[in-house]
Structure 1
Amino acid sequence: MADEARAKGNAAFSSGDFATAILHFSEAIDLSPTNHVLCSNRSAAYASLQNYIDALADAKKTVKLKPHWSKGYSRLGAAYYGLSQYDNAVWAYKQGLEIDPNNEPLKSGLADAQKAAADGAKAKGNAAFSSGDFATAIRHFSEAINLTPSDHVLYSNRSAAYASLRNYIDALADAEKTVKLKPHWSKGYSRLGAAHYGLS
């Protein structure tokens, strides 16, 4: 009976009728509550309706039932991402990639989550910089750099924050990294000049 409800849920999901899919998956889960695939499928259906709270609950249950199944972490990452909990999404996708390092959906999800988390950290860094809290700005820019280490703007922004604290050695290092990453970007050379001037 659980298999029949699951098949109906899969058919409804495939046709885009996610609400009906949830009903059938719920029926199947009632009959087979330890089936991780059913929880995973219902999580996907909830996420398709942008009900990320219930998607997260089912994804957590999936991972609890089958901790070494990479798809559970994909569901977990998607739910966290939908809730704008990007750091948690990064963690979930990384957990899945430890199990299945070549999984393309996990890699893609991780890249999206890292970019979103970095954008959030960058925005916090810019706000702190604008308010004159340069130490906090540096912390946020550093967090963003850890997530997206090839973004030249982050090094440029952190260089300016270091220079504002008269830490010209670190300002110079970040300016050099900026120029290395984006050699034809004039602002990088402006940061480089400011750091050299501060050290002179």
Structure 2
Amino acid sequence: MSRLSRTHWAAITAVVLALLFAGAATMASAGGSDDSTSRTPPADSADAGFARDMSVHHQQAVEMSFVVRDRTRDDEVRRLAYDIANTQANQRGMMLGWLDLWGLPKLSADSEPMAWMGEEHAHGSGHGGHAGSPAGDGALMPGMATRADLDRLGKASGKQAEIEYLQLMIIHHNGGISMAEGCAKRCTVGPEKALAEGMVAAQRSEVELMVDLLHKRGAEVRTS
């Protein structure tokens, strides 16, 4: 099976898991069961912080994917962009749904992005490409593209747009993997931990594919 096919299956699996988890959360809330999803975690918990921050992180991936879809006619990249947009939009909707279920705000003015990762984020914030970029340039969380990055992607077309997208999305995914690994360690809500673990596996698979697609276009992975 090709890596592209594996990525398609990873994306489909992630969406199915997201829908299953969302269904479990709804049933738990309606039925008053002991499932951990029905219990409200503290607003400053890893569970709430991950749901808020990863929702923002996912939204940027969806936006970049829609940009490149309109800037190239390459079937491989357009298909990958669709998979990423579809999967992450579904996961984002589920995480925002959990915040609604818990009665917690989707944005918190009382805490900095990634505060739920504690010292681990503080120690790693200078590594991994855009993770240490100044907030003033638009990079608020690990791997997120800056405004300058997004402007450059929006102005590119054809092969150059493909390269820009793949380079940015590899950095973006690596940042997302770090965040999901943090939730897998710290989150206490069972379905959310499972979703985070699924994100790690699926995004690692997509990173492998994107590295291959970059090499096919004579380009290399960027670190910043």
TM-score w.r.t. the length of structure 1 is: 0.26
Looking at secondary structure, tell me which structure has more helix per residue. 1
Q: Which structure would you say has the larger RCO, counting Cα contacts within 8 Å and 6 or more residues apart? A: 2
